[in-house]
Amino acid sequence: MTKATSGHIRRFDSQQDDFRQQLDALLAWEGVSDTQVNDTVLKIIADVRARGDDALLEYTNRFDRMAVEQMAELRIERPALEAAYQRLSPKLQQALEISVERVRAYHQHQKQESWQYTDASGTVLGQRITPLDRVGVYVPGGLAPLASSVVMTAVTAKVAGVPEVIMAHPTPDGNVSDFVLAAAWLSGVDQVFTIGGAQAVAALAYGTATVPAVDKVVGPGNIYVATAKRHVFGQVGIDMVAGPSEILVVCDGKTDPDWIAMDLFSQAEHDADAQAILLCPDAEYLDAVEASIVRLLPTLERVDIARRSLADRGALIKVQSLEEAIEWVNRIAPEHLELSVDQPEQYLDRIRHAGAIFMGRHTSEALGDYVAGPNHVLPTSGTARFSSPLGVYDFQKKSSIIHCTPASASELGESAGPLARGELLTAHARSAEYRIKE
């Protein structure tokens, strides 16, 4: 692949002959299908199913470098969550409250209501919406204490009406974050277990003597978490298999290049596997953004992670026009799309695949990660082609309602009988026909 002169990030031109192949290679994320990871995860899941808490303790000590002997040391109840909240600075308390309120307000709009109607035959038909009984929210802890992911998952579950929210969150080396626990308090989490990785997903899916089995496991995580979620699907529901964070910026060349460099860093700093790409029709502007990257990268706290992410998976891409850029957006189907252009609305109708769309130069993706309101748990690795942001709908399910009168049962039976006989299912036919009035 073409390397940038600075060595920091690749440069491509969509007109180069092999651009499509180069882009495909850049987008490929093979992590979840890695056989070694898969084997490890299958072994962990089997072990947690067989040995429950004993296996959980063992894996937690091994992978999170802890020295715990009993599950009680890995469980945190609500009073301790509140105490953590009280230890935060007033400024952080207030920011967290604003985040929770804005996320709650946004997700209220997603609530689905039950409905019913009476058809011409007199039969009442409808759909009843009910929340899941108990869900597990996974909150990553390996690379950063993602308190905002607590808010995004737990507040959404509570808006849906889920009575019991169990949180799993690894605390490597025993470092428990007050910020994460405070977020759990404000978001209404019922219990926290300081466990992570595949062992946490297995415990939530199958239950152990201490960890209650849940109906669905949601939330982002690393490759072990993502692979485990794929394997427990069926035993429990899952939201999606979310991979490393991504940002795709489309810019017309008129935004401050430092802003765009920092927007790219904002996702690159998550993970060395994270992906940050810029599409722009102006080659000189791409030079300016590259210069900003070179100058600003050393100023980041997480410089090593961001540098690897940009070098291995990042790109600055020259396109012919913004119209062409939009075509590539639909091919890439990014987790986050920033439209850093004048009048971004003019492109909206043509964007078919993106987890979240940030409109205009002032709407940085970082605002969406924390306080805008929409969920930041989003489909990655091109899966925005077929899946949606985590939402209230992930925590609600539907039951169909059918209520016949004697007359409508008789009327419908006249059709159900022949249909059942056509399928050679005579008990079905007779069951329907018993209700036909002479």
Ligand X SMILES: NC(=O)c1ccc[n+]([C@@H]2O[C@H](COP(=O)([O-])OP(=O)(O)OC[C@H]3O[C@@H](n4cnc5c(N)ncnc54)[C@H](O)[C@@H]3O)[C@@H](O)[C@H]2O)c1
Ligand Y SMILES: N[C@H](CO)Cc1c[nH]c[nH+]1
Q: CA-CA distance, 275 to 335, in Å (whole number)?
A: 10
**369 binding Zn ion? (CB under 5 A):** yes
Complex with ligand X: residue 334 or 417, whichever CB lies closer: 334
Binding-site residue ranges for substrate: 245, 267, 270, 336, 369, 423, 428
Produce one character per residue of 364-403: b if its CB has 16 or more CB atoms within 10 Å, e if not: bbbebbbbbbbbbbbbbbbbbeebebbbbbbbbbeeeeee
Complex with Zn ion: residue 252 or 369, whichever CB lies closer: 369
Binding string, 252-271, against ligand Y, x = CB under 6 A? ---------------x----
CB of 383 to ligand Y, least distance (A): 13
If we measure between CA atoms, which residue out of 113, 81, 76 comes closest to residue 96? 81
Which one-letter DSSP state was computed for residue 264?
Answer: H
Q: CA-CA distance, 112 to 107, in Å (whole number)?
A: 11
Tell me whether residue 77 is one of the annotated catalytic residues.
Answer: no
Judging by DSSP bridges, how do beta strands 396-403 and 124-131 pair with one another?
A: antiparallel
If we measure between CA atoms, which residue out of 251, 277, 263 comes closest to residue 341? 251
**194 binding ligand X? (CB under 6 A):** no
CB of 63 to ligand X, least distance (A): 4
Tell me whether residue 336 is one of the annotated catalytic residues.
Answer: yes
At residue 251, what are phi and psi to the nearest 5 degrees?
-130, 145
The binder of ligand X chosen from 14, 99, 110, 149 (CB under 6 A): 149
Which one-letter DSSP state was computed for residue 236?
Answer: B
**270 binding ligand X? (CB under 6 A):** yes
Q: CA-CA distance, 177 to 100, in Å (whole number)?
A: 18
Q: Which of residues 366-425 bind ligand Y (CB under 6 A)?
A: 369, 376
CB of 354 to ligand Y, least distance (A): 13
Binding-site residue ranges: 138, 199, 222, 245, 267, 270, 336, 369, 423, 428
> For ligand Y, how many residues bind (rule: CB under 6 A)?
8
The binder of ligand Y chosen from 48, 132, 137, 146 (CB under 6 A): 146
Secondary structure class of 134 (helix, strand, coil):
strand
CB of 309 to ligand X, least distance (A): 9
Catalytic, out of 246, 335, 338, 365: 335
Q: Which residues contact 102 (CB under 8 A, 6 or more apart)?
A: 371, 372, 373
Other C-beta atoms within 10 Å of 6: how many?
13
- The residues of the shown chain that bind Zn ion, judged by CB under 5 A, are 369
Which residues are annotated as catalytic? 335-336
* Contacting positions for ligand X (CB under 6 A): 40, 63-64, 140-143, 146, 149, 170, 196-197, 220-222, 224-225, 242, 244-245, 270-271, 274, 376-378, 380
Q: Which residues contact ligand Y (rule: CB under 6 A)? A: 146, 148-149, 245, 267, 335, 369, 376
